[in-house]
């Protein structure tokens, strides 16, 4: 039996009547997102011939796929570099998503919260990414041919310089975490039906960060997060862990609480479109994130590249380009493609519920009080949460130690427990930031080091993420070296345009948290576990890039530069030295990056020697920052730092053993004054 083309749409809207007239075996795919998909299901069950509507859609996707493949080959050839084979394998997966009505995005309002989001976690498939936006009319063909050229926005791996890049990728294993953050923002911050799609490579599924994201996405019931694994079998040097066996990924992903949708042929637009319909079926949404697993062929469309090892990251030789393009053929007609726009009604969806908010007020600290700077951090973010609804906090299951729990208790709907999965925590914070949140990421400073890859990528996404590392240095005491942040200053100093702050008391901590809130970009605050004396009046200001000269005279012989716990040791050393007739200037270098170069240079001009004192390894820390600042100055700089393997022990024992106690600082200064060394 056959239906006329005109009759099909009517029947598709009345599936129940059709089922009655023609009894069918159970068909799970009937519960789908659009009439076209319902038609396809019935066609399959009843062997009804393909309709003109379906055939036209398939032809459209095949046509755009052909053109996209041509652009991939030509742009990588022009660049004489790139990853064409990795791009070719995912063409139908992406063209069907963008141009078959599944993806909803207003190209004229890229930042609209209701837009769906697309992240290429396999960022080396950037030729495909740029070609998709060319097919959407947002990049012209001439610009595509500037791929990988110096100054082009079409960089080798996508960054924020290209306006349709949601997040910088290329360091594999990060995209799903960023997508998780965007899905969190849509679901819990904006309460909008925006979905986030993440294209994943099969090779990168070996990364532990992927499985951190998989666990947390299920925990937060993010059925608006859709991963798409391009199972093309081949990695850079050979076959991937599971080759073409997509079922092996399913066996591992589903037990984590995801719903998997299988695609036997990732190059068949009909199969791919049906898979998206199944993945996005609102009746199937049950809080489980969705993973599409699509078997594809690396190098698809170019016969001499298909499923062949040894071509990863290599453009086609010029003498074979015509052969490849001729085999692909020209598109049947000029491309006139549009991406579906979000439902206008979705822009009016309710925002996240208001939090019960306390009155915003600064905690009162009296001079001489002893308060841990981590406590002051907790007070500050609770206070800032009142007037900054965009402020969110991510915790690595240590909020009782970092004091982020104060924010959790006051604003539970803006607090995200990421558990002990720091890589995912940083990636999710990036996604939240890119969707308008101002995230603070808080954990032990030592544990942030395992997420450095995610941290270093943040500037290339243009995200605004704030970090707070507690339990820094040997001064934490008995816990021992595994818990001591001794590399964190060096790590964050390497972030281009990043900010590194190390307050010494509660007043400066609260002021610097305020400054971080206003700063755009990556910033890091180092907090102290133990209590320190309040030395500043609440009226003091602490601009980023500043310092405080706490002790000085016209007769100063030496300058002591400290921050955090070592500043208090330097102040005590100042008193000890004064008894010996040695006048010492004391500087609180609370802003380690950027530095107060003027204050340091003035001290170098006025004193004979500078001693830096830091509870951190010497490499990359405060001392090296000062040395760099004064590299052209003749005044010597002596760096006191953690130079011995730390042990468990009381904080005062630790500082003494490392030569960082007041008495040891004074001894080092006396020795220099006596011997010049």
Q: HSE of 301 in the Cβ direction (CA atoms, 13 Å)?
A: 31
What pLDDT digit, counting tens, does each position of 301-355 carry?
Answer: 999 999 999 989 999 998 999 999 999 998 876 777 899 999 887 765 555 555 5
What pLDDT digit, counting tens, does each position of 534-570 carry?
Answer: 999 999 999 999 999 999 999 999 999 999 999 999 9
What pLDDT digit, counting tens, does each position of 192-231 carry?
Answer: 999 999 999 999 999 999 999 999 999 999 999 999 999 9
* Domain 56-341, CATH number (from 3.40.50.970, 3.40.50.620, 3.90.1150.10, 3.90.1170.50): 3.40.50.970
Beta carbons within 8 Å of 598's beta carbon, 6+ residues apart:
none
Q: Let me know the angle formed at the C-alpha of 526 by 523 and 527, rounded to the nearest 5 degrees.
A: 135
Q: What is the mean pLDDT of residues 512-521?
A: 97
Query: What CATH code is assigned to 551-675?
Result: 3.40.50.920
Domain ranges of the chain: 7-49, 56-341, 370-533, 551-675
Mapped onto helix, strand or coil, the DSSP state of residue 165 is: coil
Beta carbons within 8 Å of 675's beta carbon, 6+ residues apart:
none
Is residue 166 annotated as a catalytic residue, yes or no? no
Confidence of residue 49 (pLDDT cuts 50, 70, 90): very low
Q: Which of 422, 487, 510, 614 is catalytic?
A: 422
The pTM of this model reads 0.90
Using CA atoms, how far apart are residues 357 and 184, in angstroms rounded to an integer?
22
What pLDDT digit, counting tens, does each position of 490-513 carry?
Answer: 999 999 999 999 999 999 999 999
Using CA atoms, how far apart are residues 566 and 493, in angstroms rounded to an integer?
19
Beta carbons within 8 Å of 43's beta carbon, 6+ residues apart:
49, 50, 51, 54
Q: How far apart are the first and last CA of the chain?
A: 99
DSSP letter for each residue of 527-578 = --SSEEE--S-TT----TT--EEEE--TT--EEEEE-THHHHHHHHHHHHHH
Equal fold, 370-533 vs 551-675: yes
Strand residues in 48-89 grouped as ranges (E): none
121, 127, 128, 132: CA torsion to nearest 10 = 110
Assigned CATH topology for domain 370-533: Rossmann fold (3.40.50)
Strand residues in 381-425 grouped as ranges (E): 391-395, 415-417
């Amino acid at each position: 039996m056959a239906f006329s083309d005109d009759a099909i749409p009517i029947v598709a809207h009345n599936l129940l009547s059709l089922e009655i007239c023609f009894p069918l075996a159970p068909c799970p795919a009937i519960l789908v997102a659009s009439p076209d998909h319902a038609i396809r299901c019935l066609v399959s069950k009843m062997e009804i011939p393909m309709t003109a509507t379906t055939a036209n859609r398939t032809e459209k996707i095949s046509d755009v796929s052909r053109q996209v493949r041509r652009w991939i080959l030509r742009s990588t050839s022009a660049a004489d570099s790139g990853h064409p084979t990795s791009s070719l394998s995912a063409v139908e997966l992406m063209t069907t998503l963008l141009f078959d009505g599944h993806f909803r995005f207003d190209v004229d309002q890229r930042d609209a919260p209701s837009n769906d989001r697309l992240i290429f976690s396999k960022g080396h498939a950037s030729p495909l990414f740029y070609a998709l936006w060319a097919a959407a009319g947002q990049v012209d063909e001439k610009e595509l041919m500037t791929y990988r050229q110096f100054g082009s926005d079409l960089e080798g791996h996508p960054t924020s310089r290209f306006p349709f890049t949601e997040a910088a990728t290329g360091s594999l294993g990060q995209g799903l975490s960023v997508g998780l953050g965007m899905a969190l923002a849509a679901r819990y911050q904006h309460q909008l039906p925006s979905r986030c799609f993440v294209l994943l490579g099969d090779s990168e599924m070996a990364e532990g960060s992927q499985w951190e994201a998989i666990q947390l996405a299920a925990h937060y019931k993010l059925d608006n997060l859709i991963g798409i694994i391009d199972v093309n079998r081949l990695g850079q040097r050979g076959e991937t862990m599971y080759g073409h066996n997509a079922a092996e990924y399913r066996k591992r992903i589903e037990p984590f609480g995801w719903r998997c949708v299988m695609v036997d042929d990732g190059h068949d637009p009909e199969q791919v479109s049906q898979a998206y319909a199944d993945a996005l079926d609102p009746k199937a949404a049950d809080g489980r994130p969705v993973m599409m697993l699509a078997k594809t062929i690396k190098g698809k469309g170019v016969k001499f590249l298909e499923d062949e090892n040894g071509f990863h990251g290599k453009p086609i030789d010029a003498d074979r380009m015509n052969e490849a393009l001729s085999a692909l053929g020209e598109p049947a007609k000029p491309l006139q493609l549009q991406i579906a726009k979000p439902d206008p009604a979705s822009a009016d969806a309710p925002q996240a519920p208001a939090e019960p908010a306390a009155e915003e007020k600064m905690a009162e600290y009296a001079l001489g009080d002893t308060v841990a700077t981590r406590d002051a951090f907790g007070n500050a973010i609770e206070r800032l949460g009142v007037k900054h609804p965009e402020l969110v906090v991510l915790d690595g299951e240590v909020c009782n130690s970092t004091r982020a729990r104060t924010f959790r208790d006051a604003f539970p709907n803006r607090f995200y427990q990421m558990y002990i999965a720091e890589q995912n925590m940083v990636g999710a914070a990036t996604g939240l930031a890119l969707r308008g949140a101002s995230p603070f990421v808080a954990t032990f400073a030592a544990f942030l080091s395992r997420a450095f890859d995610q941290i270093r990528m943040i500037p290339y996404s243009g995200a605004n993420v704030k970090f707070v590392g507690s339990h820094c240095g040997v001064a934490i005491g008995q816990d021992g070296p595994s818990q001591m942040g001794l590399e964190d200053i060096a790590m964050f100093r390497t972030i281009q345009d990043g900010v590194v702050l190390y307050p010494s008391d509660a007043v400066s901590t609260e002021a610097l948290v305020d400054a971080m809130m206003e700063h755009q970009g990556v910033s890091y605050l180092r907090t102290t576990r133990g209590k320190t004396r309040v030395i500043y009046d609440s009226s003091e200001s602490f601009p980023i890039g500043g310092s405080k000269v706490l002790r000085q005279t016209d007769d100063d012989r030496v300058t002591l530069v400290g921050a955090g716990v070592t500043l208090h040791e330097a102040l005590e050393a100042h008193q000890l030295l004064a008894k010996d007739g040695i006048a010492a200037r004391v500087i609180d270098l609370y802003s380690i990056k950027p530095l107060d170069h003027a204050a340091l240079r003035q001290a170098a001009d006025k004193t004979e020697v500078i001693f830096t004192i830091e509870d951190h390894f010497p490499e990359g820390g405060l001392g090296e920052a000062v040395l760099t600042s004064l590299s052209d100055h003749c005044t010597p700089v002596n760096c006191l730092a953690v130079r011995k393997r730390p042990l468990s022990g009381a904080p005062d024992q630790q500082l003494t053993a490392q030569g960082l106690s007041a008495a040891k600082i004074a001894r080092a200064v006396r020795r220099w004054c006596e011997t010049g060394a």
